[in-house]
Amino acid sequence: MTAFPQHNASAAEWSDWRWQMRHRVHDLATLERYIHPTEGERAAIAATEGLFRWTITPYYASLMDAIDPTCPVRQHVVPQHAEVEPDIVGVVDPLDEVGHSPVKNLVHNYPDKVAFCVTSECAVYCRYCLCKRMVGDADFMMRKDELREALAYLRATPAIRDVLLTGGDPLVFSDANLDWLLSELRAIPHVEVVRLGSRLPVVNPFRITDALCEVLRTHHPVWLNTHFNHPKELTPEAAEACARLADAGVPLGNQSVLLRGINDDVATMRALCEGLVAMRVRPYYLYQAQLIGGTAHLRTPIETGLSLMRELRGHTSGFAVPAYILDTPDGKVPLTRDYVLGRAGDHVVMETTRGTVWAEPNPLPEGYEAPVHLLAIALPADAKTIPTRAPTFVPVPDGYAAVE
């Protein structure tokens, strides 16, 4: 008997994380088993072909509302036509990760920390992803010799005490490969902390097996930050995955992204944060969405995030309130009055933790009523920023091309 008719799957198959990976949704015909795509979604799937990849695990697809295109889960993963509409930036590397990579996929932007992008594969491809330029791209996959080259750099750099395994998603590795990599890292005396950044507890929670937890347990201290964005993702399956990790001694944090129309209201964000705490997951960061081409429809004014934080603080448990953060090429900047200097037209200006000045392009939508008001200032002459303009963009295989 099939318990999950969309894929003719038994209950045992459905709860097998490898089965979930093998049967990911990445074509319109399969998507139609889960939802009734709108004409706009159909057009977006055609328009983004060769430009932005998309794929969805059957489990995560089953969380989508079949009828409502504004479903927050559906907006996460189904292409939208706004992705190919004009944007103030193209498909870029806004954090200059390539420039901070001494070897392939090893981002060394902090003196004592690195982000080790061990794979370009994810279980799903989120529409707002910072790594849209690399996810699913074979050129960013890591061969064993390339992993060893990165490990050699870590061994030769004693200042590094904290290694974040990210990607892509490191938990798409098999237990054996993950055990090998963690063993190599644990053999480096100056590496004190290993962190995993993974969305699999959200989009393929069956990956969190007892065997995986045993691998992690043997390499402590191992921390894991996952990525829930909406209360609809806080399912019994996700709660069970997080419980297994917590019971294995893995401290859990959550990094959300502030997304317009998905979680940019107080009720939703509070429900998310309090639901995470109930699952023993600490709300860690709330990220301002990055300037990635094709994501303008999901980005919010920074004033929206500042207002959210003001409404959360004092109205829920202190440890249920994440830090509101913007990632820049000069490191993460807390979006608080201590760092935010004001608004200079379409830019929000801030001082970074390194003492530099960053001007984040963040234009206010027409008719937007700011819930908080930033000091109006002139753009500092020494401010770093991402160049922007308002040309007409047309999709090409490698990203956007500007029509002069």
pTM over 0.85? The answer is yes
- Which residue numbers in the chain have pLDDT < 70? 1-7, 90-99, 131-141, 390-404
Q: What is the pLDDT of residue 397?
A: 36
Please give the pLDDT value at position 53: 85
Supply the pLDDT for residue 48: 85
Q: Into which CATH architecture does domain 106-403 fall?
A: Alpha-Beta Barrel (3.20)
Residue-level pLDDT at 38: 95
Please list the residue range(s) of the chain that carry CATH number 3.20.20.70.
106-403
Quick: pLDDT tens for 45-104. Answer: 998 887 788 999 999 999 999 999 999 999 999 999 888 888 888 666 665 666 677 888
The string of pLDDT tens digits covering residues 308-364 is 999 999 999 999 999 999 999 999 999 999 999 999 999 999 999 999 999 999 999
- The secondary structure of the chain, three-state, reads CCCEHHHCECHHHHCCHHHHHHCCECCHHHHCCCCCCCHHHHHHHHHCCCCCCCCECHHHHCCCCCCCCCCHHHHHHCCCHHHHCCCCCCCCCCCCCCCCCCECCEEEEECCEEEEECCCCCCCCCCCCCCCCCCCCHHHCCCHHHHHHHHHHHHCCCCCCEEEEECCCHHHCCHHHHHHHHHHHHCCCCCCEEEEECCHHHHCHHHCCHHHHHHHHCCCCEEEEECCCCHHHCCHHHHHHHHHHHHCCCCEEEEEEECCCCCCCHHHHHHHHHHHHHCCCEEEEEEECCCCCCCHHHCCCHHHHHHHHHHHCCCCCHHHCCEEEEEECCEEEECCCCCEEEEECCEEEEECCCCCEEEEECCCCCCCCCCCCCCECCCCCCCEECCCCCCEEEEECCEEEEEC
Q: What is the predicted pLDDT for the residue at 129? A: 80
